[in-house]
Amino acid sequence: MDYRVHRFRSACGTLDLAGRDYPAAAAGAPALLLMHGLTRNSADFEPLAARLAGRWRLIVPDQRGRGLSAWDPDPANYRPDVYAQDMLALLDELGIAQAGLIGTSMGGLMAMVMNAMRPGLAQAVVLNDVGPVLDPTGLARIQGYVGPAGAMAGWSEAAARTRAINAPAFPDYGGTDWDAFARRTCRENPDGTVSFAYDPAIAESIAGADPQTVPPDLWPLWALLDAVPVLVVRGALSDLLAPATVVDMAQRHAGPFASVEVPRVGHAPMLDEPPALAAIERFLDAHMTAPGA
C-alpha cells in the first residue's frame, strides 16, 4: 500500500500542508478525497485505504493543525469553510476536477461545504457518522476531551489514554486495537514521549454553545447535494448522528441515497468494519466510474 507524501500550500498561501497520495493501478482512474475528523489525521484512513488503494486514486490530506501539516497561528481558521478552501486548492494543484468525497465527522461537513462552494465537484459522497443535524450529546462529549493534554510517557500510555476517550464507541476493541488506534492518532516526540497529533488550539473551534466548527443550519447544504449520490454510514452506538436524522436525510434527497448502520460501534466507525466496507465498495462501484466508462 505505497503512497507518496504530497506537500502543498494552504489556500491562503501561508501554511505548508501535507497529504498522502495513493496512486491507482490504471491511468485515468477516478479520484477519492478522504477527509478525517476533528482530532484525527490522514492515518485514520489506513484501514480503508488498504481496501480501496489501486482501484481508485486516493488523496488523503492532513488538515491544517494535524498530522504532518503546519499549525495555524490563528485558531479562528480552524473551521470547515477554511479547510474546504484548502481542499479545493489541493485538488486544483493536482489537476482533479471531479472526485468522490469521503468524510468522517468534520470531514463530512467539509464535503457538504465543498459541494456548495464548487457545484459539480462531487461525483459521489460518503458521510461517515455525520449529517445536517448533530446531536448535542455528542458535541458535548467531543468538547470534553479536545484540547491541551500533557505528553504521554510512551505508546502504552498513549493506548490507555486513547481507550479512556474512545472506549464507549468501540466496546469490542482489545489491546492490539487500542495500540493501533493510538499510533494513528498520536506522534512520537524527539524525547521519546508521545503526544496527540493535533494542535491543541483546535479546541477553540468547538468551544461554547455554538461552535464555529459546526455551521448553524446544515439543511441548506444538504439540499445542494440533492443530485449527488450519497452513502451515509452510521455507528449504531453513535451519540452524534441520530437514526431519525438519517431517515430525514433520505426523505429530503432526490438523488441516489443509501445508508448502512455498523453494529456495536459509536462515533465514528473506522470504516474497516465488514458492513461499512461492503456498503462503501458497492456504492463506489456503482457511482465512481472512470470518465467515459
| 8 A C-beta contact, residue 185 and residue 40 | yes
| 73-108 pLDDT tens trace | 999 999 999 999 999 999 999 999 999 999 999 999
DSSP, collapsed to helix, strand or coil, labels residue 99 as strand
Buried b (16+ CB within 10 A) or exposed e, 152-164: beebeebbebbbe
Cβ of 32: how many Cβ atoms within 10 Å? 29
Cβ of 103: how many Cβ atoms within 10 Å? 26
| 280-290 pLDDT tens trace | 999 999 999 86
Supply the pLDDT for residue 212. 62
Topology of domain 4-148+201-287 in CATH is: Rossmann fold (3.40.50)
Supply the pLDDT for residue 150. 86
| 105-159 pLDDT tens trace | 999 999 999 999 999 999 999 999 999 999 989 988 998 888 777 899 999 999 9
Domain residue spans of the chain: 4-148+201-287
Minimal CA–CA distance to 128: which of 251, 221, 35, 263? 35
What one-letter code names the amino acid at 99? A
DSSP string, 46-89: HHHHHHHBTTBEEEEEEPTTBTTSPPPS-GGG-SHHHHHHHHHH
CA angle 106, 131, 15 (to 5 degrees): 20
Q: What predicted TM-score, i.e. pTM, was given to this entire model?
A: 0.96
Strand pairing class (194-196; 186-188):
antiparallel
